[in-house]
Amino acid sequence: MPAPAAIPVHRLGPRHAPAVARHLLRLDAEDRRLRFGRPMGDEALRAYAAGIDFERDRLFGIFGAESELAGVAHLAMDDATGQAELGLSVDAAHRGRGYGSALLRRAVLHAANRGYRALYMHCLADNAAMLHLARKAGLRTVVSAGEADAWLALDRARHGGALREALEDQFALIDHLLRQQHAWFSCLPRPDQAAANRASVS
């Protein structure tokens, strides 16, 4: 697995469900088909986002400049089998910057640390970008009858690392604080504007 990229990947919680929905709604019809394996209308996407079980599953996200979700990974956890299924998507405008790889890597790290045996992805056989991404990350891919499965047998020593995951979460927290600070400062009037305001009331 390649070294962690300098892309902060956040854990998402129930409060992010509306932002997850907005991210999915920005995908065009073809991307929705590639992400879910079938056509998905707006209502179906809203229902999917509203129905995410944040207690059981893990959601990871990457925020864009406007603090909207530019990429989302849904890691469906199955404690009974020790297998986790990953689905991910990245806004068209943010592709090719390593966001998809960063989300995949983050999901592998989390599943391995949870002691899971395998991570898999199910996608359509014509999803060349996803198959490329999966193979690059070391997943074994099997393509048949228009569908593809990508598998990674997880080894905690090789794919996991509690310290690594803690550092990734710290990195995401710093990113969050910087975004908050930026939003706060951008609400303040500029010094010249503040002076003009003071002059107009005196």
Ligand X SMILES: CC(C)(COP(=O)(O)OP(=O)(O)OC[C@H]1O[C@@H](n2cnc3c(N)ncnc32)[C@H](O)[C@@H]1OP(=O)(O)O)[C@@H](O)C(=O)NCCC(=O)NCCS
Reference 176, options 27, 12, 38, 43; nearest CA is: 12
**Residue 146 sits in the site that holds ligand X (CB under 6 A):** no
Instruction: Using CA atoms of 129, 130, 136, 140 in order, give the dihedral in degrees to the nearest 10.
Output: -140
**Residue 70 sits in the site that holds ligand X (CB under 6 A):** no
Residue 178 tokens, joined = 């910087």
* Minimum CB distance to ligand X, residue 64 (Å): 12
d(CA 62, CA 156): 24
Among 59, 100, 110, 139, binds ligand X (CB under 6 A): 100
d(CA 30, CA 78): 29
* Minimum CB distance to ligand X, residue 185 (Å): 29
d(CA 59, CA 46): 16
* Minimum CB distance to ligand X, residue 101 (Å): 3
Among 46, 95, 114, 117, binds ligand X (CB under 6 A): 95
* Minimum CB distance to ligand X, residue 188 (Å): 34
**Residue 8 sits in the site that holds ligand X (CB under 6 A):** no
Q: In this complex, which beta carbon is closest to ligand X, that of residue 84 or of residue 130?
A: 130
Half-sphere exposure of 197 (CA within 13 A, CB side): 7
**Residue 89 sits in the site that holds ligand X (CB under 6 A):** yes
User: Residues interacting with ligand X, by CB under 6 A?
Assistant: 31, 34-35, 87-90, 95-101, 121, 123, 127-130, 132-133, 136
